[in-house]
Amino acid sequence: MSAIQPDESLARRMHGLQPGEQPVARSTPIIPGTSDDGTLTEDPGKRAPCVLGDRSFEDVTNIVCGYAEAKMPKPWLAALTITSSIAALGTGMILYLIITGVGVWGLNNQVDWAWDITNFVFWIGIGHAGTLISAILCLLKQNWRTAVNRSAEAMTIFAVICAGIFPGIHVGRAWFAWFLAPIPNSNGIWPNFRSPLLWDVFAVSTYATVSLLFWYMGMIPDVATLRDRAYMRLTKGVSRPMAIPMPIGNDIVVPMLPKPDQLRVLIYGIMSLGWRFSSRHWHRYEKAYLILAGISTPLVLSVHSIVSFDFATSIIPGWHTTIFPPYFVAGAVFGGFAMVLWLMIPLRVILPNFSDLLTKRHLENMAKILLLTGTMVGFAYGMEFFIAWYSGNQFEFSVFANNRVNPAKAPYWWAYWTMIFCNVATPQLFWFRKMRQNPLVIWIVASFVTVGMWFERFVIIVTSIHRAFLPGEWHMFFPTWVDILTFVGSCGIFMTLFLLFLKFLPVFALSELKVVMPQSHTHDDH
């Protein structure tokens, strides 16, 4: 069994090449009006290629699979060390919280939804965005999705994992979380199915399941390629056992562990589910992937709308508004694209040849979407204020004037205006083409947007409930060191999982990359 042979034969079948026929070699830019870095120069009507460097099918296979097969660069190892340490710290904080109780948090009787629910809504928004990005771009047949779809789908899974941490520890006594399941508990009491919080349990768990299937389904052909390549190295005798020096007494013993490729063949073989690159497999794969994309899109929209109902169904000023469902969905897409850019742009520097697959064309397209969704979010902010003013409800308007906007009266004015600056002002840089094509500028804006989306959740939750109808019930919220370290730890868990994903699983979809390569269109001129 060969790793390259099935992959190359598949590529030939996909692109109509006859046996013995080779793709046309190109030494000049593939599309007129395109520079070497993939940006458009003179003719805006021409699209830059999605894969640069005049790569062959084999080159792309080696690049994508090489991240899982070769040693990762030192910056990746340094990043993994830092993030795993932060994740361990966060895990320790969670255990400390479970042992001592939620009293070590800064929440109080008035602000009982504070840091924990803020982080939950933040992570769930990031999680909803990933699958939505991939599914919508798949249904719309956007070729440039090839650079971001796999990472966006992986980001979804890891963000949902981080989001699930906070409701479990928020309720206290996390070991009783099974009470949320639709079974009678030890007291013979069923869950309250009319509670929006229980809707979240079912909605988010359903979404996590579909997103995991969507992500896994897309990886099956690529995992099979990793399996075949490992098997080929074993049959050729290229693979060697791992030697790990171990001090035993005064001597150094070097035990010979199993060959890494043996483990790869076993693990990737199980994950690939018997994939053999046959026409039947491809037909069923494409149909199943398209069905999951069709299911994921309305599911994401409905799930994030349900999360917004946690607030919109209440009578608390600042929450009682019907704009929350579309507002939350637009914010999820906004924050999700920002997080994808924040994760992927540094990889263009750290990982070799990564910039050939994630080009400036991809970055520019995502910057345009950030500009569009940022404008939508800014419109939602303005409509929130307009509805509060136009309704004539003095309590609703007071939330904005005295809790958020006015620095003289609003104690959390800094959070509100930080949100406005990060989410509304900074994306306006993308009106200028040079800014949309500058990776550093895009990464900085994406960083601001990520911070701004967290502050948006903080503003919605904390500023709406820290002042009740009676002044005697007004309480400020101040996070404790446990609050802060718990959130930082969740960020460490997210980043650690993402870095491990880069190492052990394919970052790009090989079949989709090869479809958009210039070699796929060698006969288009005839």
Over range 385-407, report the average pLDDT. 81
How much is the pLDDT for 525? 47
Written as one string, the DSSP assignment of 447-478 is HHHHHHHHHHHHHHHHHHHSS-SSGGG-----
Tokens representing 39?
A: 């940006």
Helix (H, G, I), strand (E, B) or coil at 72: coil
Q: What is the value of pTM for the model shown?
A: 0.83
- Look over the chain and give the mean of its residue pLDDT values, rounded to a whole number: 80
How much is the pLDDT for 440? 93
Beta carbons of 480 and 116 less than 8 angstroms apart: no
**In which band, very low, low, confident or very high, does the pLDDT at 240 lie, cut at 50, 70 and 90?**
low
* Three-state secondary structure string covering 88-141: HHHHHHHHHHHHHCHHHCCCCCCCCCCHHHHHHHHHHHHHHHHHHHHHHHHHCC
CA 29 from centre of chain: 32
How much is the pLDDT for 23? 44
Instruction: Tell me the longest C-alpha to C-alpha distance in the chain.
Output: 84
The contacts of residue 334 (CB under 8 Å, 6+ apart) are: 129, 370, 373, 374, 376, 377, 423, 449, 453
Least confident of 120-124, 135-139, 376-380: 135-139
Over range 216-234, report the average pLDDT. 88
How much is the pLDDT for 410? 82
How much is the pLDDT for 47? 63
- The residue with greater pLDDT, 304 or 73, is 73
Query: Which secondary structure element, helix H or strand E, spans residue 251, and what is its range?
Result: strand 251-253
How much is the pLDDT for 5? 40
Beta bridge partners of 247: 252
pLDDT digits (tens, 9 = 90+) for 69-84: 888 888 899 999 999 9
Over range 496-502, report the average pLDDT. 93
- Residue linked to tokens 């303005």: 382
Residue-range domain boundaries for the chain: 4-16+57-172+192-512
- Amino acid (1-letter code) at residue 526: H
Residue 38 has pLDDT above 70, yes or no: no
* Percent of all residues in the chain with a pLDDT value above 70, rounded to a whole number: 83
**The domain 4-16+57-172+192-512 belongs to what CATH superfamily?**
Formate dehydrogenase/DMSO reductase domain (1.20.1630.10)
Tokens representing 1?
A: 């069994």
How much is the pLDDT for 425? 94
